[in-house]
């Protein structure tokens, strides 16, 4: 009986260590929607006057310099595509945009040799 308890407690302790190191909480910093892709936090801010994408690695900003970002917004059969430009550590495009609730967005971000594809439910 003591051996069963010992084995059970050892197995539980191993699972506890594996679970303790998993992930981190995704909180929006700029008021958008955050998803994690390939260990990169991607935050999409989609407003009627600006579309912006912020990248970070566990809270540390990732530079957008030399990168490109394409954002596709899908609402039913309506599809709109936008090229966001690198501006001061983020990708951004200003203008007048229709971003209805319930839309889906797909961002394809290229940084040097890394390609990140993020999906959002707006």
* The domain over range 24-121 is classified in CATH as 2.60.40: yes
Query: CA 53, 27, 13: angle at the middle one, nearest 5?
Result: 130
pTM beyond 0.75: the answer is yes
CA–CA gap between residue 98 and residue 96 (Å, rounded): 7
Domain locations in the chain as residue ranges:
24-121
| Helix H or strand E encompassing 21 | none
Long-range contacts, stretch 26-29, CB < 8 angstroms, 24+ apart: 29/54, 29/56
Q: What is the chain's pLDDT, residue by residue, as a tens digit (122 residues)? A: 667 665 666 555 555 544 444 556 778 889 999 999 988 999 999 999 999 999 998 889 999 999 999 999 999 999 999 999 999 889 999 999 988 999 999 999 999 889 999 999 99
């Amino acid at each position: 009986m003591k051996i069963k308890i010992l084995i059970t407690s050892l197995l539980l302790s191993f699972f506890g260590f594996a679970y303790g190191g998993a992930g981190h909480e995704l909180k929006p910093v700029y008021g958008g929607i955050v998803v994690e892709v390939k260990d990169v936090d991607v935050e999409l801010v989609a407003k009627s006057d600006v579309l912006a994408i912020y990248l970070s690695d566990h809270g540390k900003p990732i530079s957008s310099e030399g990168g490109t970002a394409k954002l596709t917004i899908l609402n039913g059969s309506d599809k709109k595509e936008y090229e966001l430009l690198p501006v001061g550590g983020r990708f951004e495009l200003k203008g007048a945009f229709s971003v209805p609730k319930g839309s889906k967005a797909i961002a394809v971000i290229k940084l040097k040799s890394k390609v990140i594809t993020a999906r959002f439910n707006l």
